[in-house]
Amino acid sequence: MKSVFRSARIPAPGSNYSPGMNVNNLLLMSGLLATDYKTGVPSSAKTRPNFPLFGSNVKLQAEYVLNNLSLLMEDAGSSLEDILRLDIYMLDVSDYFEFSEVLHRYFRGKNPPRSVVGVRNKNNFWGQGLLGSVGDRFEVEAIAVAPKQGLEKRVIPTPNLPMLSEGDPLAVAAGDFLFTTGLLATDYATGIPARARTDPNFPWMSSAIKLQTIYILDQLKEILASAGTSLDNVVKANVYLLDLRDYWAFNEVWDEYFPANKPARTVTKANGLLGARGDIVQIEAIAIIPGGKAKKRVVKTVEGPSQPLTLAVEAGGIMFTSGLQATDYKTGIPPAAKTDPNRPWIGSDIKFQVGYTFESLKVLLEETGASMNDVAKLNVYMTDLRDFSGFTEVLPKFFSGPDQPSRTVFEVEDILGPTGARFEVEVVAAVG
């Protein structure tokens, strides 16, 4: 079951989507930006134009966003202490230090697991890869728990693994679900540890992406074991690669750790990672902990271009999809999802791709007895934000009524999919 939550104390979104959705007491929030959705970045979130050196735009935006997040959580019957993971999308990850100074103040040294990812920052359209106001530096989305007896957040102890600090756990759990931080190949002391990097004297004798992936997945195994679970119970993974050309070597390692019963997975091109110098991959995961009501079930797999792909996994009344695209997984983008090359002025590639992808989502939902009305969260990745208006024109064909899914949209440099893919979406839905 899903329900929308809002706060009259923060600016309402500028288009028809919900600030947050409650799915079985998990709170899924839309991406929050420093905008009032009317005039742009509000005066309280930016330095004074005549005194630009007196203050920090990053800190002012962080104050604005985290205050709004706190108010939204309160009005949902929760609090910042109940956040299970933050995902922070930044135009420039070097802004993170200033952002973190504000973050630590709000969370008082008890930070939730989090991922920090650089998104595309280019100098056209409005000059940024975030769907907010001109001048926005980052976007923050959160997953939290609406606490009740038996469903409180708890930190997973990992004493044998490197951590940034005691106040920065590698994983937390609530109910049957476990959420990890964004895992990188670093020891948080010296940088990339020796076993996760190539020998500088013999760099051709090994693979940096494989060594880093092995290190991260070994970390993930130990985190899960600390909570009494395993890789077999991972239901969703998000992978961020600095270079999508590393995907094939990454995936060879992935298949060794997940030979069957694979989780839903989205692989995204990142323009920066907050790790040690030389980190090129980050992985975050959601898993279930055995012994509760949640059981993992792979909803559907398809035969991909080179291997079977898990399209969706259901657990605990929640369905998590992989990144979905307009593809038949055999020939590329099918004719129904693109304009006629002989008449390219008739129709719109982005509208065709969005329509095809959401039709595929409908079929996935039907496998669980659910419908588009049960969709709670959309994460949308576009290779060009100028396509966003076309995307929104198609949405009413699939989503109606006032309680639209919560949503995060940003631009990526490329999509791991067929040639010509302009759009990818990952979905969380209430099922069962």
Distance CA 24, CA 2 (A): 7
| DSSP code at position 183 | B
Percentage helix, strand, coil for the chain under 3-state DSSP, each rounded to 5? 30, 25, 45
Residues making up the chain, counted from first to last:
432
- Asked whether 101 and 61 are in contact (CB, 8 A), the reply is no
Q: How many CB atoms lie within 10 A of CB 235?
A: 25
- Asked whether 301 and 312 are in contact (CB, 8 A), the reply is no
Distance CA 222, CA 173 (A): 15
Strand partners, 363: none
Token duo for residue 171? 């994983």
pLDDT at 422: 95
Contacts of 97 (CB under 8 A, 6+ apart): none
pLDDT at 347: 83
Distance CA 24, CA 3 (A): 9
Strand partners, 12: none
DSSP secondary structure, 253-269, as one string: HHHHH-SSSPPEEEEEE
**Computed over its alpha carbons, how large is the radius of gyration of the chain?**
21
pLDDT at 132: 82
pLDDT at 109: 84
pLDDT at 356: 97
* CA 218, 320, 248, 255 torsion-angle sign: positive
pLDDT at 411: 92
pLDDT at 141: 97
Q: How many CB atoms lie within 10 A of CB 25?
A: 16
- CA 321 to chain CA mean position, Å: 12
Q: Print burial letters for 298-317: b (CB count within 10 Å at least 16), e (below 16).
A: bbbeeeeeeeebbbbbbbbb
Region of 261 (left: φ > 0; alpha: ψ -120 to 50; beta: rest) is: left
Which structural domains are found in the chain, ordered by start?
1-151 (3.30.1330.40), 162-294 (3.30.1330.40), 315-432 (3.30.1330.40)
pLDDT at 126: 53
pLDDT under 70 in the chain at which residues? 121-128, 166
In Å, how far are 47, 231, 304 from 307, measured between CA atoms? 51, 19, 5
Distance CA 164, CA 395 (A): 41
